[in-house]
Chains A and B, each alone.
Chain A
């Protein structure tokens, strides 16, 4: 039964081996496409392994001592395979594989050494993300958590000579670090009260009520802060839209399907602990729902196609968090998986469009449905899934979340999420109508992408449909939250009315968009300015951080340095004075000696007895 251990280890090790190979053998990295093939082969192997792990459905735990100490090791490393991490393994390796294949054509204009670097980062990311979901302890999870943050930074800033990309990379890094500080303090506090980082041990203690309740709420809230940063929850969501400066395949992989879901994964993984702190759960749910609505409203006024998708990701992450916060983590996790598939599809589709027309601005596209029919079809499949139209994957997962929220009796949150669902359908079809229908604005002759890019798109589209059909035919796998009978028609009506509104505004022209934004002037005004959050952070940064730095700088320059400057000036002046004594004439020194002897004699004679 050793296969139980080495198969997950193989999945973890292949991308790492590929990364090491590309990192330490520069000639290999500089081959560009060759480096890409190595990375793709490694992740393909990992994908097959992950499929094996997932379909076998086995559970296994392995640990090795890491920090030995008296009375048992202080920290262990290992792997923990259960249905949760196995499903994540399959999702991560699948999307990584497709994105890496897609990138091979998407970035074919890149210089070879840049492409090699890109694939090295991709391999490192796959390794880190797989390590994160396989972690059996908080400590190991935190290390991989930081590693994926690093990869996100590196890949957002892949075009580091573009100032916007470099700024976005730094912004993403710092904003997520803000949450990570809470995370690390939280796990250390948890270790302080329980003495272990280990999930299994902690969950066993939680079951038997052995975890001291005192301070647990704060501890878990701090751990949740890590998820706030990583999963772009309000108020730390500001980095995700800016992260769109990275290459589109990166956005699809890291900022839609995998890394940003790490926060949801964390809350889902540690659900037994969070259940002990109802206050934190309430915060998670409320913040999640608020984030969902806020991001959806911003997506409605955005003109950049990638930013629409980014806000949509923030919004859907809010959905998942709400479910996790209302003890319906299974529904949230289900949405995480389906969302990972169709959001990667949407991003890759958007990438194909951007690749063809060379702009991100939706108002400068239009009529692309005829020019690139295949892209249009798969993009619409993804959009329908995101909007929650049956029988596609998104419908079932979204309905599961809504059912969970309704079961929990959180009516306010249910209304917010329903409104978000309506907005989601609206802004996604706004994008579809602007990009693929109507009059053509784009210059040149856009055409469908080459098959290396089309292939992953079709695979994801087919998966989106297949997952949906499996649930449509096979019924719900999750009976924990039986949906009320009216819920399915209700969500379909929500989705269809959103689509209808988008059609009326952007296709039929029956409702003038400007008139609607005039009618909703305050919301429109605020949403276009991203609710002033970026400005607020900028202002806070300038007022407090720069002010404080200025003060510290002043103290350093004029006080600390001042003392030293005065000392050195005195030393210099004293030395200059003393220098003049040294005339160089031997006789002057003799005068000194004679006078000194005289002094000694006089001193002995009168003062010393």
Chain B
């Protein structure tokens, strides 16, 4: 299998993640979408690292994974706080920024 197959997979995962982020109404679902998009990036990094022999890609993917962990922890904490305050995590209801 060539690089293209990995890149296609990565693009698909990214697109699915973006679709989830844009369409899910639940905040948890949105976080899941973001997870997918980040992992699509990881696939990209690892694939390029494998096909060019550059170890930088691996290092970066490791960084990404650890940052993702932190992001999920923070994101979930925020979601919980929002739920406590607003009694909902429906993204449509959270429109305090409306002009």
Query: A: which residues have CB within 8 A of B?
Result: 578-587, 590-591, 594
Contact = CB atoms under 8 A, between A and B. Distances in A.
B7 interface: no
25 contacts: A578-B99, A580-B99, A581-B99, A582-B97, A582-B98, A583-B95, A583-B98, A584-B94, A584-B95, A584-B96, A584-B98, A584-B99, A585-B91, A585-B92, A585-B95, A586-B97, A587-B21, A587-B23, A587-B30, A587-B91, A590-B21, A590-B22, A591-B22, A594-B18, A594-B22
A591 B22 CA distance: 7
Contacts of A579: 99
Contacts, number: 33
A582 B91 CA distance: 15
Contacts of A594: 18, 22
Given A582-B97, A583-B95, A586-B97, 18 more contacts: A578-B99, A580-B99, A581-B99, A582-B99, A583-B98, A584-B99, A585-B91, A585-B92, A585-B94, A585-B98, A586-B91, A586-B94, A587-B21, A587-B22, A587-B23, A590-B21, A590-B22, A591-B22
A94 B22 CA distance: 98
A315 to B, nearest CB: 78
Contacts of A590: 21-22
A324 to B, nearest CB: 79
B32 to A, nearest CB: 14
Q: How large is the interface on B (under 10, 10 to 19, 20 to 34, 35 or more residues)?
A: 10 to 19
Query: Which of A578, A579, A590: most chain B CB closer than 10 A?
Result: A590
Contacts of B21: 587, 590
3 closest pairs, A vs B, by CB? A584-B98, A582-B99, A584-B95
Interface of B: 18, 21-23, 30, 91-92, 94-99
A590 B94 CA distance: 14
A476 to B, nearest CB: 95
A591 B23 CA distance: 10
A581 B97 CA distance: 11
Nearest to B21: A590
Nearest to A585: B95
Nearest to B19: A594
B87 to A, nearest CB: 18
A581 B91 CA distance: 17
B8 to A, nearest CB: 17
A157 B95 CA distance: 67
Contacts of B91: 585-587
A149 B30 CA distance: 83
Contacts of B23: 587
A586 B91 CA distance: 8
B25 to A, nearest CB: 9
Query: By CB atoms of chain A within 10 A, which of B22, B92, B95, B99 has the most?
Result: B99
Nearest to B95: A584
Contacts of B18: 594
Contacts of B97: 582, 584, 586
A109 to B, nearest CB: 70
Contacts of B99: 578-582, 584
A499 to B, nearest CB: 93
A583 B94 CA distance: 10
Contacts of A584: 94-99
Nearest to A575: B99
B62 to A, nearest CB: 26
A586 B21 CA distance: 10
A591 B18 CA distance: 10
Contacts of B94: 584-586
B63 to A, nearest CB: 23
A33 to B, nearest CB: 71
Nearest to A579: B99
A126 to B, nearest CB: 70
A590 B99 CA distance: 16
Nearest to B96: A584
Contacts of A581: 99
Nearest to B93: A585
